[in-house]
Amino acid sequence: MVTTSSSPLAPIPTSGATTEGSGAFQFPRLYSFPPFFNIQPVLSTRASQLASWSSLIQEYCRHHRIYTLTLVDALSTPLFNNSSLSRRLSLRDARAVIQWMTTTEGGNRAEWISAGNKKVKGEEGGEAGKCWIFWKKPEEWASALEEWVDRTGQKGVVLTLYEITESDATMKEEFYGMDPDLLSRSLSICVKRGKAQIFGGEGSEGVKFF
């Protein structure tokens, strides 16, 4: 029996995550199924299980506006730890889920973040297992940003990155409070598409859509 820290529904404290979640997150019914917390040995079952985990993680992160997960920390949060069942996903299994999400089969819904320059052998995303969770992929964020600029008639206007993610004007948008790294990555996709241009240097960037 695994002893678990019983934490109530609290957003996962990760870097760049805003603690904004309206109402309690509605867990899927598999979440109350104890074997869900063991990666199944039978291949066909596992495939379906991984897909279910992937959608749970995406939905959870979308609900709590989480952009990155650090697995060692996240394991004790409700996402991976069902305290009422006393069941939790092990680090190894959680890695397997994220690893699957990074593949094309898993829809590229996650990406490991390498820890600095030091190479940790064999461990993706460093020892702590840090990764992006793309409940919207950078390309999808890029499209969302383009759509927003178009909708609000701000083409040709120079916007600061702060304005995009933190101002009152974008409070209702999905990218409000977005991770700055993910934002610049999405913006650079806009640039590649020829839809935007980035000005200024580190810390004081501005962007113009056209």
Binding site for another protein (CB under 8 A): 1-2, 29-30, 32-38, 40-42, 44-45, 47-49, 52, 84-88
CB–CB of 45/120 below 8 Å? no
Whichever of 37 and 132 has its CB closer to another protein, that residue is: 37
> Measured from the CB of residue 128, what is the shortest distance to another protein in angstroms?
23
Q: How does DSSP assign 121-180, residue by residue? A: TT-TTTTTTEEEE-SS-HHHHHHHHHHHHHHTT-TT-EEEHHHHHHSGGGTTSTTTT--H
> Measured from the CB of residue 108, what is the shortest distance to another protein in angstroms?
21
Whichever of 43 and 171 has its CB closer to another protein, that residue is: 43
Whichever of 68 and 77 has its CB closer to another protein, that residue is: 77
CB–CB of 98/131 below 8 Å? yes
Whichever of 36 and 141 has its CB closer to another protein, that residue is: 36
> Measured from the CB of residue 42, what is the shortest distance to another protein in angstroms?
5
- Residue 189: other Cβ atoms inside 10 A: 20
Residue 134, token pair as written in the block? 């793309």
CB–CB of 64/12 below 8 Å? yes
Whichever of 92 and 172 has its CB closer to another protein, that residue is: 92
> Measured from the CB of residue 80, what is the shortest distance to another protein in angstroms?
13
> Measured from the CB of residue 95, what is the shortest distance to another protein in angstroms?
17
In 48-95 the beta strands, taken as DSSP E runs, fall at 68-70, 81-82, 87-88
Residue 84, token pair as written in the block? 């009422």
Backbone angles phi, psi at 81, to 5 degrees: -125, 105
